[in-house]
C-alpha cells in the first residue's frame, strides 16, 4: 500500500483530485520557489508546482515558516565552483530551494514510526520555500510549547551550526569566546547561546551591527573593517579560550596568535575564499596544523539529527532565546531577502511564511 493510499479517504464529491491526509484534504498543487540555472535572486521562480508525496521513510510537512540561510545563496550561484561536483556541473540537479523548516506533519510515508500526523516539527527539509516540503524524520525534532514558528524555522541549519560549533569548542561559563561573523544567521545564535552558557563573548561584525550583537549578549564588539584580531586582544582581554570562525577568511596564524595555548578554534564558515574552494581549504590546513600544536584546530560541517535538534530546541525554549528577525516575507519576498543577505544588509533572519 502506498502512503497516499494509506491516507486517502477516496475521491471527494465533484471529482476533485484532492486527497485526504490525517482527516484534512490536501491540494494537489502548491506554490514553491525554485530555480533551473545557476544564477542570482533574479533567477528564482515562484510558481505553482505539484505537491510532493513522501516516499517510504519520509514525511510531508505543511510549511509554517522557512528560514533563509547562506547555503541557499551557494545553491543559487553554484559557488564555490567545487560544490557543482555535488550539485550538477552545468545545471543544478535539485531545483527546489530552501532547507530550514518549521511546520506540521501532514502525511507520513511507510516505515515512519517516530513521527505522527499533526506533530509540530522543525529541522531540515528539501525545498522548504514552498507550501509543502518533504523531510526525513532523522533531520527533524518536535517543537516544544513556547517556541514560535519563525524561531523554529531558523534552527535547522543556522541554530544547529552555532550549537554544534559551541559544543565542539566546549564553551562553558567564564570562558572568553571570540565569534567572528557574529551578526549573521549563525553568528547571532552563537552569541545568544554562548552568552546563555555564561561565556564572555567578544563579537566581530560590521560597524552598523555592533549594537545588534551587544543586544544579544556580546560584552565587546569590533568592526572587522577597523580592528585587527590583535586589536581585540591584549590589555584586560586575555587570549581567547575559544574562537568560532563564521565570517571573513582570516589566516590561521592570525587566529592562532589570539588563541590561548590550549584554546579551541572552530571554523564553520567564511565567504572570502577563492572561486574554486571558497576558503574551505582553511579547514584542511587547520586539521594538519592541529597535529602539531596543543591548540585544538578544527572545521565543522553542520549535521543536524533529531537528537541534536531536540537538545537545541529545548535549550532555546528554556532560555527563551529568540533570534533577531529582519523580515518575515511571503514566497514572493524571497528574492529581495536573498539580495539583502548578499549585500550584508540584514539585521537578523529572513523568514519565509508561505
Ligand atoms: N559549516 C557548516 O555546516 C555551515 C552551516 C551554515 C553556514 N555555514 C557558513 O557559515 C558562514 C556564516 O553563515 P551565515 O548564514 O551566518 O551567513 P550570514 O548571515 O551572511 O553572516 C555572515 C557574517 O559574516 C560577517 N562578515 C562579513 N565579512 C566579514 C569579514 N571580512 N570579517 C568578519 N566577518 C565578516 C557578517 O557581518 P556583517 O553582516 O555585519 O557585515 C555576518 O556577521 C557562511 O560562510 C556559511 O556558508 C557553514
| Domain CATH number, residue 46 | 3.90.180.10
Closest C-alpha residue for ligand 1 atom 27: 247
Atom of ligand 1 nearest to the CA of 299: 1
How confident is the model at residue 155, as a pLDDT?
Answer: 98
Residue carrying the nine cell digits 560597524:
207
The reply to whether 200 and 250 lie within a common domain is yes
The reply to whether 14 and 101 lie within a common domain is yes
| Phi/psi at 42 (5° precision) | -70, -15
Residue 309 lies in a domain: no
Atom of ligand 1 nearest to the CA of 302: 3
Confidence of residue 10 (pLDDT cuts 50, 70, 90): very low
Alpha carbon separation from 23 to 107, 111, 120, 138, 251 (Å, rounded): 10, 20, 16, 25, 57
More confident residue, 241 or 281: 241
> Could you tell me if the CB of 341 is within 6 A of ligand 1?
yes
More confident residue, 38 or 16: 38
Confidence of residue 15 (pLDDT cuts 50, 70, 90): very low
> Could you tell me if the CB of 337 is within 6 A of ligand 1?
no
In the chain, the percentage of residues whose pLDDT exceeds 90 is 82
DSSP 35-62: -SSS--GGG-EEEEEEPP-PPTT-EEEE
Alpha helices in 179-321, H assignment, sequence order: 185-196, 210-216, 252-257, 281-290, 306-319
How confident is the model at residue 21, as a pLDDT?
Answer: 60
The reply to whether 192 and 82 lie within a common domain is no
Q: Give the strand pairing for 200-205 and 220-223.
A: parallel
Tens-digit pLDDT profile for residues 288-346: 999 999 999 999 999 999 999 999 999 999 999 999 999 999 999 999 999 999 999 99
> Looking at the predicted structure, is the pLDDT value of residue 177 above 70?
yes
Rounded distance from Cα 345 to ligand 1 centre (Å): 12
Rounded distance from Cα 88 to ligand 1 centre (Å): 24
Assess contact for 121 and 141: CB atoms under 8 A.
Answer: yes
Model confidence, pTM: 0.93
Confidence of residue 4 (pLDDT cuts 50, 70, 90): very low
> Looking at the predicted structure, is the pLDDT value of residue 231 above 80?
yes
How confident is the model at residue 13, as a pLDDT?
Answer: 31
The reply to whether 16 and 146 lie within a common domain is yes
Q: Which three cell numbers stand for residue 218?
A: 556580546
Atom of ligand 1 nearest to the CA of 186: 16
The reply to whether 165 and 39 lie within a common domain is no
> Could you tell me if the CB of 161 is within 6 A of ligand 1?
yes
The per-residue b/e assignment along 137-161, b for 16 or more CB within 10 angstroms, e otherwise, is: bebbbbbeeebebbbbbbbbbbbbb
125: left (phi over 0), alpha (psi -120 to 50) or beta: beta
Which is nearest to 327 in space by CA: 185, 141, 158?
185
Assess contact for 177 and 241: CB atoms under 8 A.
Answer: yes
Q: Which of 27-31, 87-91, 95-99, 341-345 has the lowest mean pLDDT?
A: 87-91
The reply to whether 66 and 120 lie within a common domain is yes
DSSP 323-345: --EEEEE-GGGHHHHHHHHHTT-
Rounded distance from Cα 73 to ligand 1 centre (Å): 12
Alpha carbon separation from 131 to 29, 93, 194, 305 (Å, rounded): 9, 21, 34, 23
Q: How many CA atoms lie within 13 A of 268 on its CB side?
A: 33
Number of structural domains in the chain: 2
The reply to whether 203 and 105 lie within a common domain is no
The residue to mutate among 74, 83, 188, 247, having the most atoms of ligand 1 within 8 angstroms of its beta carbon, is 247
The reply to whether 162 and 147 lie within a common domain is no
> Could you tell me if the CB of 273 is within 6 A of ligand 1?
no
The reply to whether 270 and 343 lie within a common domain is no
Residue 315 lies in a domain: no
How confident is the model at residue 86, as a pLDDT?
Answer: 87
Q: Cα-Cα-Cα-Cα dihedral of 76, 138, 159, 325, to 10°?
A: 70
Closest C-alpha residue for ligand 1 atom 28: 248
Residue 307 lies in a domain: no
Confidence of residue 23 (pLDDT cuts 50, 70, 90): low
Query: What mean pLDDT is predicted for residues 33-38?
Result: 96
Distance, in Å, from the CA atom of 125 to the CA atom of 129, rounded to the nearest integer, reads 9
Domain residues for 91? Answer: 3-154+323-352
Tens-digit pLDDT profile for residues 137-160: 999 999 999 999 999 999 999 999
> Could you tell me if the CB of 100 is within 6 A of ligand 1?
no
Rounded distance from Cα 234 to ligand 1 centre (Å): 25
Query: What mean pLDDT is predicted for residues 14-35?
Result: 71
Amino acid at each position: 500500500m502506498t502512503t497516499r493510499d494509506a491516507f486517502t479517504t477516496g475521491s471527494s464529491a465533484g471529482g476533485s483530485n484532492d486527497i485526504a491526509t490525517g482527516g484534512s484534504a490536501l491540494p494537489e498543487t502548491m506554490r514553491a520557489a525554485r530555480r533551473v540555472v545557476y544564477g542570482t535572486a533574479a533567477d528564482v521562480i515562484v510558481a505553482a508546482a505539484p505537491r510532493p508525496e513522501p516516499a517510504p521513510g519520509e514525511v510531508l510537512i505543511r510549511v509554517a515558516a522557512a528560514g533563509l540561510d547562506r547555503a541557499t545563496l551557494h545553491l543559487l550561484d553554484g559557488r564555490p565552483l567545487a560544490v557543482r561536483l555535488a550539485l550538477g556541473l552545468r545545471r543544478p540537479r535539485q531545483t527546489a530551494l530552501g532547507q530550514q523548516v518549521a511546520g506540521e506533519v501532514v502525511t507520513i510515508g511507510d516505515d515512519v514510526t517516530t513521527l505522527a500526523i499533526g506533530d509540530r516539527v522543525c529541522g531540515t527539509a528539501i525545498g522548504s520555500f514552498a507550501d509543502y516540503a518533504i523531510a526525513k524524520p532523522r533531520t527533524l525534532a518536535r517543537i516544544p510549547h513556547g517556541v514560535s514558528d519563525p524561531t523554529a524555522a531558523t534552527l535547522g541549519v543556522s541554530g544547529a551550526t552555532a550549537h554544534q560549533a559551541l559544543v565542539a569548542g566546549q564553551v562553558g561559563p567564564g570562558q572568553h569566546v571570540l565569534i567572528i561573523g557574529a551578526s549573521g544567521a549563525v553568528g547571532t545564535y552563537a552569541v545568544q547561546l554562548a552568552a546563555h552558557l555564561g561565556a564572555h563573548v567578544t563579537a566581530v561584525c560590521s560597524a552598523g551591527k555592533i549594537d545588534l550583537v551587544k543586544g544579544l549578549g556580546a560584552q565587546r564588539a569590533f568592526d572587522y573593517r577597523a580592528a585587527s584580531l590583535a586589536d581585540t586582544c591584549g590589555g584586560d582581554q586575555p587570549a581567547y579560550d575559544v574562537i568560532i570562525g563564521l565570517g571573513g577568511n582570516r589566516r590561521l596564524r592570525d587566529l592562532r596568535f589570539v588563541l590561548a595555548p590550549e584554546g579551541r578554534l572552530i571554523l564553520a564558515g567564511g565567504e572570502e575564499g577563492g572561486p574554486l574552494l571558497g576558503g574551505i581549504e582553511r579547514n584542511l590546513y587547520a586539521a594538519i596544523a592541529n597535529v602539531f600544536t596543543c591548540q585544538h584546530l578544527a572545521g565543522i560541517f553542520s549535521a543536524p539529527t533529531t537528537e541534536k535538534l531536540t537538545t537545541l530546541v529545548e535549550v532555546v525554549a528554556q532560555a527563551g532565546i529568540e533570534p533577531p528577525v529582519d523580515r518575515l516575507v511571503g514566497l514572493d519576498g524571497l528574492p529581495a531577502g536573498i539580495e539583502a543577505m548578499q549585500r550584508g544588509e540584514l539585521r537578523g533572519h529572513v523568514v519565509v511564511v508561505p
